[in-house]
Structure 1
Amino acid sequence: MAAPIFVDLEALRAGTVPFSTLEDAFGPSSLGVIIVRGLPAEFVTLRKQLLSYSSYLANLPESELAKLESPESKWLVGWSCGKETLKDGRYDTLKGSYYANPVQSGPMTKTALEKYPNLSEYNTPSVWPEHDVLPGFQETFLKLCNLIIDTAVLVARACDRYAEKNVEDYEPGYLEHVVKSSVSTKARLLHYFPSLEANGQPQGETADSEDDWCATHLDHGCLTGLTSAMFVDEAAHPPTRQSGYAPLPELETAPDPKAGLYIHSRSGEVTKVSIPKDCLAFQTGEALEVITKGKFKAVPHFVRGAAPGKGGKVARNTLAVFTQPNLWEMVDDKRDFATFAKEIVERNH
């Protein structure tokens, strides 16, 4: 069974990651995931703080959450819950999402608005909670996301080195340029609600449903940065203003060992991937597969929830940062990313 590949941050910085390691991580027989260890010390603190904020945010009064909603962006900016559909057509109330663009600023954002005025899901400004509602949230969010983007740039640089040797007519440094310069990168802070509703009845699907929390899908960007999940017992530690928004105590393990992130390997196996708390995972998206002409493959993945009766009042919080090309960047000879992304959205919906 395939296993995720680990690399050290220093090896990425030094440009010494072997091509064989990149093939094992992202190639045709891989899981499409690389895990980076040796991160800056502040990463652990920022991760715990922001993932705690995910519980605080999701438990805000409905009136405050409504202020963060952005229907004009097709719910891809700000707070969203119950707007997506699951594979059986039901609206997804199992999780709440907060979307923001950590790098949406400067003249290139103006360029995106001018060139693609109808792509509101990419061009709508981020909607942040007021400081007195969630003190420190925006600052923590931006710090962690930019640390993840900086690390993604190093992973992209390693991919460029490989592609320049192995992909015909590959433009040197292209992926690093795309990841480093993009104002289309989007971050998604996720809160998977506890598996018991207020009346004590299990919510969601049956234990037989593998991908009840997040159906099997491919990301359509380049590299998706993922933190490990944080499990919080919200009954024992209610995420309310009274706690002063301090980091919440984190469970050492999930309440259901089968809950978590799963990947469909190239051989047809389904593999559960665990990310250490002091590491970041990066998985491949469809844009990367096209840019590298299939040398690196996008990874099908899903998130499995706790089985009914095993979740208790435990919530699962995590962060995904989708490094996506600027809308005008070309992913192949004929399509810019705006056209490419539109095709994928139409295909999936």
Structure 2
Amino acid sequence: MSEIKPVSISYLDFKAGKDFTEDVSAAFGANGLGLIVIRDLPDFQKERIAALRTIRKFANLSEEIKDKYTHSESNYSFGWSHGKEKMRNGVPDTAKGSYYANTLGDTTTDDQYLKDTFPEMYSDNVWPSEDLPELEPAFKNMSHIQVGVGYMICELFDKYLRGLTNGLHSAGHFLDMLKKGTACKGRLLHYFPAPPAANKSEDGLCGWHLDHGGITILTCPLYLDLEGNEIPAPSDCGLHIKHPSDGSIVKVTIPADCLVVQLGESFQYLSGGHLRATAHCVKSSKTPDITRETLACFMDWLPEETMKLPEYTRPYAEVVHTPFLPEGVPDLEGRMKGVKHYRDFYSNTFKAYHSEN
């Protein structure tokens, strides 16, 4: 296992109009890691620390209190969720707890049909206003910064694909699609202190998987001891990726003052395989009595968005292929069967990964 320095770009260079064609190709092409680091962002450390500390506080509340903020109607896709997701060979994932909320608004639709039919996307936010009121503003402040970075990277994707396809890709196509989507989910994550058995597995905190949506924006994790004191990141844990060129496992470190953007499988598909997602996991540490806190923002398409390959697509077998797919991870080709709209793909993926199904 090795550590690798991912492709990084400057937010200041983006604002100055720099061409990032080579960077996008290196990060998201056939041999890329499926992620890119965004540096030189305006300072956001106050918002990052506030958000990551609140999820630890919530996770340490009593089970009785936490249960008040679970939302079974959305299959635990809003509010608190713990042990509801399958990540490896059908085993429920209890290593982490998550607090989910839509980052674009507490209520994104008044259409009851949408809420009833797609509760994982369209339910209203659930906030612990009585028991931990600071979680809501901290969550919103940091996730709104992540959404802005998501729009930025989508703009770069559009420019890249337009140049790559000699104009066949419409200018602003994916940025417009993403801005139409209202299913933008923030996920505050608390990784509990890992039991000794978890350290025997290379993916002991979060099993191997691929993000299925559009794009994911990640903060640098915060590591804390059991008293809540910040500690240096352990060297033996963190985000790991299956390198698409040879299947080797590489560790990726996110600097504290940067954000990372990862690509989802649906973006891979809609780009005709020119932009690639990669399998990744979070490896547990052998160091006892530590927790890991982070915030991921998942930006998705409208449920009715057509999952149609572009005219400039690569061969279908290449589009749906994931090199060195880890054992137990559902393949993209299987989840695309019978899919016409994004809601179909979302449903197939949800069933493949979640214990409630």
Query: What TM-score do the two structures reach when normalised by structure 2?
Result: 0.84
In the alignment, does 2:349 pair up with 1:344?
yes
Matches within 5 A, 1:62-81: 62-81=63-82
Once structures 1 and 2 are overlaid, which stretch shifts more, 161-170 or 136-145? 161-170
Q: Once the two structures are aligned, what percentage of the paired residues are identical?
A: 31
Say whether the 8 Å CA contact 2:87–2:353 is kept in structure 1: no
* Equivalent position amino acid for 2:15 in 1: R
Amino acid at match of 2:98: S
Task: Supply the AA of the counterpart residue of 2:231.
Answer: L
8 Å Cα contact 1:3/1:31 also seen in 2: no
Please state whether the residue corresponding to 1:109 is helix, strand or coil. coil
> 1:32 — aligned with what?
34
Q: How does 1:285-324 map to 2 (within 5 A)?
A: 285-307=264-286, 310-311=287-288, 313-324=289-300
Q: Which residue of 2 aligns with 1:276?
A: 255
- Unaligned stretches of 5+ in structure 1? 197-201, 238-248
Are 2:142 and 1:147 equivalent residues in the alignment? Answer: no
Tell whether the 8 Å contact from 1:30 to 1:266 is kept in structure 2 after alignment: yes
| 1:20-56 Cα shifts (integer Å, max 9, x gaps) | 1100111111001100011111x11111111011110
Amino acid at match of 1:142: K
Query: Structure 1 residues 178 and 294 mapped into 2: Cα distance closer, same or farther (>3 Å)?
Result: same
Taking only aligned residues, the RMSD between alpha carbons, in angstroms, comes to 2.0
The within-5 A match list for 1:98-247 is 98-104=99-105, 109-110=109-110, 113-115=112-114, 117-130=116-129, 132-167=130-165, 169-196=168-195, 202=196, 204-205=197-198, 207-234=199-226, 236-237=227-228
Deviation at 1:139, TM superposition (A): 1.1
Are the equivalent residues in 1 in contact too, given 2:222–2:293 (CA < 8 A)? yes
Q: Quote the residue 2:330 is aligned against.
A: none
Check the 8 A contact 1:15/1:158 in 2, yes or no.
Answer: no
Equivalent residues of 2:54, 2:138 under 8 A apart: no
Q: Distance in 1 between matches of 2:18 and 2:73?
A: 45
1:302–1:163 Cα change, 3 Å? same
Count residues in correspondence. 321
Q: Shift of residue 105 of structure 1?
A: 5.5
1:185 corresponds to which letter in structure 2?
C
Residue of structure 1 equivalent to 2:230? 250
Contact 2:87 2:209 (8 Å CA) reproduced? no
Amino acid at match of 2:19: V
CA distance in 2, matches of 1:91, 1:347: 12
Amino acid at match of 2:207: A
Q: What's the counterpart of residue 328 of structure 2?
A: none
Query: Could you tell me how far 1:116 is from its partner in structure 2?
Result: 6.8
Q: Distance in 2 between matches of 1:276 and 1:346?
A: 34
Q: Distance in 2 between matches of 1:214 and 1:24?
A: 26
Shift of 1:115: 4.9
Separation in structure 2 between the aligned mates of residue 122 and residue 314 of structure 1, nearest angstrom: 32
Among residues 7, 13, 16, which one is paired with 1:14 in the alignment? 16
Contact 2:217 2:262 survives alignment (8 Å): yes
Q: Secondary structure at the match of 2:57?
A: helix
Match among 222, 230, 237 for residue 259 of structure 1: 237
Shift of 1:180: 2.6
Secondary structure class of the residue paired with 1:191: strand
Q: Cα distance, 1:319 vs. partner?
A: 0.8
Q: 1:214 to 1:335 in 2, by over 3 A?
A: same
Rounded to whole Å, the distance in 2 between the matches of 1:8 and 1:179 is: 22
Whole-angstrom CA distance in 2 between matches of 1:331 and 1:105: 27
Contact 1:149 1:180 in 2 (8 A): no
Structure 2, unaligned runs of 5 or more? 310-338
